[in-house]
Chains A and B, each alone.
Chain A
Amino acid sequence: MDIIVCVKQVPVTAEAEVMVDSSGRDIKKDRLVFDVNEADNYAVEEALQLTEKFGGTITLVNLGPESADKTLRSLLAKGTHEAVRLTDEHFDESDAYVTARILAAALKSLSYDLVLTGCYSSDLGYSQVGAALAELLGIPHATMVIGLEVLDGKIKVERELEGGTHERLEIDLPALLTIQTGINEPRYASILGLRKAMKKPIKVLTLTDLGLAEGEVGRDGSKVFLDTLSVPPKGEGAQILEGGPDEVSQKLVDIFREKGVV
């Protein structure tokens, strides 16, 4: 079973202070570290488990700068086979649909039984690239997948819907699935594994390699563009309790009593 996994490198912001940069259209990244997008990491693990079971190869496809090689290497270290990076200055500011267009152009020359993506990216969070890519490739898709079973020429998937509802579907292969976090437990890539992966080549493709025109990609090709980013203004009504743990918990209990919560 040959699998393509589309992966994105994102800044790690969970514990960091996020600030808007001087352009007003991006966050300050100079002090942030970068890692594979969380949901994509689960997609890679799912691909690894499938190829361990059924054989075949895993090709990673990334749309990103040269610095994304760090993430690609860490995923190659886990046992994925090949990596393709799509890099061109004209790709900057592509919206979700154009991102799918660029990925689709790269996937045209590859053979696959299954395409996996994460269900959303932790930076922009549009959740659109997977579905748009499937449409452009002309293959069926399922989003928010939390379980799957490969049948003969088909795949059975379980989707996570709202309010704890699950949906089971049977889909013809080749298909595209967007993988939800929690579907598996991603493995660790050791540093020795990473050193070995440094020798694996990463194929780089540009706008012309993909046969795309300047006007089809980037800001010019996109229907959606990011206008401004801003930190939400401080709201009214929040009360910050100051002091040590004992003091703060006492104040909190007093407030609960006062408001009739307890």
Chain B
Amino acid sequence: MEVHVASQELTREHHVLRCIQCGRCTSGCPVSTNSSLNVRRLLNEILLQPDLILSPEATELWQCTTCMTCTQRCPKGIKPLDVIIEIRGQLIESGRIQPGLRDALESTFLHGNPWGKPREKRSDWAAGLDVKEASGAEDLDLVYYVGCTIAYDPRLQKLAQDMVKALDAAGIKYGILGNEESCCGNEVRRIGELGLFEELTENNVKLFRERGAGRLMTTSPHCYNVFKNEYTDFTGEVMHYSQVIRDLLAAGKLKLSKELGWKVTYHDPCFLGKQNGIFDEPREVLGFIPGVELVEFDRCRERSLCCEGGGGRMWTEDVAGQERLAEIRVRDAVGMGAEVLVTACPFCLLTLEDAVKTTGDEEKIRVMDLIEVVAAAL
């Protein structure tokens, strides 16, 4: 079954006629080196073919990690990422999508998370810890939005546990949303499932209001991005934890005393760095940690290489035989002599950790989230 894409409407709506085929989108695209996605060619096809026919699998469109480099580099102000997401939306409506994406979306609808996990286990990470739910009646410094992957993934649950350790050490009054917390929808929207995204935002904004989330702190830059930029009905303040921890360290409320003696490098997550301009805060946090030496990647900050974990890529099939960008990242880090590869995003953490295994560098380097480094220095 083929999917017909309404390319003339796309052209009009997204100003594709402005395209001068300069190719900056493709040259900046991180997956242009290891997949068949070619953004310049896609825009050209949309322009030239009034009836663009895609195979339901349309593998190349699902290779996009939604890192947004194409949109940021376009000299004519076209937003190729939005075009890709809209075409994905048309594929979603046809129903013919990869099983991994289908299952993630169905699970998000049924359970409020993309991992097929029951809602009643969402707060299991906090078992045995003194973590309270925000009721909406207390006067809290912040509400901590944990995020699906952190709440359920056994490796990532440690991030939430370390987070509450750090918040407690700083004397912060916070609450979580407990089992009622639901998926933020950042990936859902980028997969192109706009109906489900609307449903999630509506329910989440209501929940945030009820629980008194005047200030919402997230673990993941993906949740941060969507709450900050795409939840138009949410009026509260949204912060990524790296900002909160930086402020606490700067104000002297959080003190890190343990000398770590680590040589580290920092991988900028796309959704924190290039999409939201949060480059300095995580580095400043590292600067507060005794005995941490930071060496920088050649491709750091705005030019940071995407780890390929975003835009639904956590649930799509990898293209067989291609080098993963996370592997390049790990090799670069090992080459610089870094002992710890630090990042501040759960998806980056998982893809980089996988890459450490596939490159056989387990003896040379380990991957840690920034909050784990903070907790280690407490």
Contact = CB atoms under 8 A, between A and B. Distances in A.
Interface of A: 12, 14-17, 31-33, 35, 52, 78-79, 185-195
A33 B194 contact: no
Contact of B195 (A12, A15, A35, A195): A195
A17 B121 CA distance: 9
Which among A14, A52, A188, A194 has the greatest number of chain B C-beta atoms within 10 A? A188
Interface in B67-104: 92-97, 99, 101-102
> 3 tightest A-B contacts by CB?
A191-B195, A187-B95, A192-B195
Interface of B: 1, 92-97, 99, 101-102, 105-106, 109-111, 116-121, 193-196, 198-199
B120 A194 contact: no
Given A15-B118, A185-B99, A191 B93 contact: no
A31 B110 contact: no
A190 B116 contact: no
Nearest to A191: B195
A189 B195 CA distance: 11
A122 to B, nearest CB: 14
A31 B112 CA distance: 13
Nearest to B92: A190
A205 to B, nearest CB: 28
Contact of A193 (B1, B95, B102, B116): B95
Contacts of A185: 99
A3 to B, nearest CB: 18
Given A15-B118, A188-B97, 16 more contacts: A12-B110, A16-B118, A31-B119, A33-B111, A33-B118, A78-B95, A186-B102, A187-B94, A188-B92, A188-B105, A189-B95, A190-B193, A191-B196, A191-B199, A193-B95, A195-B195
Contacts of B111: 12, 33
Contact of B116 (A14, A17, A32, A79): A14
A235 B120 CA distance: 27
A12 B107 CA distance: 11
B121 A194 contact: no
A188 B195 contact: no
B118 A190 contact: no
A14 B93 CA distance: 27
B213 to A, nearest CB: 25
Which among A12, A32, A190 has the greatest number of chain B C-beta atoms within 10 A? A190
Contact of A190 (B110, B121, B195): B195
A16 B120 contact: yes
Given A33-B110, A33-B111, A78-B95, A190 B196 contact: yes
A167 B118 CA distance: 38
B93 A31 contact: no
A192 B95 contact: no
A186 B97 CA distance: 9
Nearest to B104: A188
Nearest to A33: B110
Contact of A194 (B1, B97, B110, B195): B195
B313 to A, nearest CB: 17
A190 B95 contact: yes
8 contacts: A12-B118, A16-B118, A31-B120, A33-B111, A187-B96, A188-B101, A191-B109, A191-B199
Nearest to A34: B110
Given A33-B110, A33-B111, A188-B102, A15 B199 contact: no
B95 A188 contact: yes
Given A78-B95, A190-B92, A190-B95, A15 B121 contact: yes
Nearest to A49: B1
Given A188-B92, A190-B193, A191-B195, A15 B116 contact: yes
B242 to A, nearest CB: 26
A2 to B, nearest CB: 21
Nearest to B200: A191
B199 A190 contact: no
Contacts of A14: 116
B38 to A, nearest CB: 26
Contact of B93 (A15, A17, A33, A193): A193
Nearest to A48: B95
A188 B88 CA distance: 13
Contacts of B105: 188
B116 A192 contact: no
Contacts of A15: 116-118, 121
Contacts of B106: 35, 188
Contacts of B97: 187-188
Nearest to B116: A15
B26 to A, nearest CB: 29
A35 B121 contact: no
Nearest to B192: A190
